[in-house]
Amino acid sequence: MKFGVCCIPDNFASAGAAGLDYTEISMAYLHDKGKAELYEIKQKANNYGLDIAGFNGFMGAGISLYGDPPEKILSYSKENFEIANILGGKYCVFGCGWLRKTPDGADKAETEKRFALILSDIAAAADEYGVEMILEPLCHDETDIMNTFDEGLRLCRAADIKNLGCLVDFYHFYKNEEDVSVFDTLRPGEPRHVHLARPNDDRAAPTEADRETLTLWAKKLKASGYDKRISLECRWSGDYENDLKVAAPLLKEIF
């Protein structure tokens, strides 16, 4: 198992000091950066013993998922996949709840179908670059499209595209009050990725106080055969470095 953190380059030093393996960077943060700056970011990660394994925040404010033509969406996506190749990242997470939610006046069921088609097209494009596309189910507070882990799994299974998969974000899992029994029905290769914060509305980094719930989640993941990556995706206190020094060894011990 590999352990990492969702962060920007300013926090690479703290991630390396905490003994983490990799970082996951927002693609919206990276999208407009030139090649020289991208290579500097890659070198900075390597200097602290980190890989840039993948990316979240796939799309920024310049895209309308349902308003822009497919050509613009695919062009934007391919630019992201080129960035992924430069930095050596292997996966892109599609969350962007505000972007995928049902537009005012639109039909939710039709929006879900449209979202599934768009995501499938993006995943097919990603395959050309050797990048895996990973859907992130998000809690009901953040979007109304693809909320639960089970919904995300069913979408990805129906699409049946080899490089499209579903992650479990345990913060959203907790917020949705989802049942861990869903892990008992997983197929080989599910989930494709994991995001983690403590089981609390503050979405902070895990601490010893969260051991009981973390242990339950770890048991379910291990039973499913999952052995890929777990990314801390948290809201951080004023002492980022200390938060990581507490959370990183706890995750390694439990998971």
Q: Tell me the C-alpha distance between 199 and 13, whole Å.
A: 26
pLDDT lower than 70: segments of the chain: none
Under a CB-based contact definition with an 8 Å cutoff, are residues 166 and 191 in contact? yes
Per-residue pLDDT at 142: 97
Identity of residue 255 = F
CATH number of 2-254: 3.20.20.150
User: Where do the domains of the chain lie?
Assistant: 2-254
Burial class (CB in 10 A: 0-12, 13-18, 19+), 36: exposed
Nearest to 3 by CA among 14, 18, 211: 18
Q: pTM score, two decimals? A: 0.97
Which are the contacts of 162, defined by CB distance < 8 A and separation ≥ 6? 127
* Distance (Å, whole) CA 122 – CA 78: 8
Give the model confidence (pLDDT) of 133-167 as tens digits: 999 999 999 999 999 999 999 999 999 999 999 99
Residue 238 pLDDT: 86
pLDDT value, residue 61: 87
User: How far apart are alpha carbons 173 and 239 in whole angstroms?
Assistant: 26
Sign of CA dihedral 194, 195, 200, 205: positive
Q: 136-166 as b/e, with b when 16 or more CB fall inside 10 Å?
A: bbbbeebbebbbbbbbbbebbeebebebbbb
3-state secondary structure 217-252: HHHHHHHHCCCCEEEECCCCCCCHHHHHHHHHHHHH
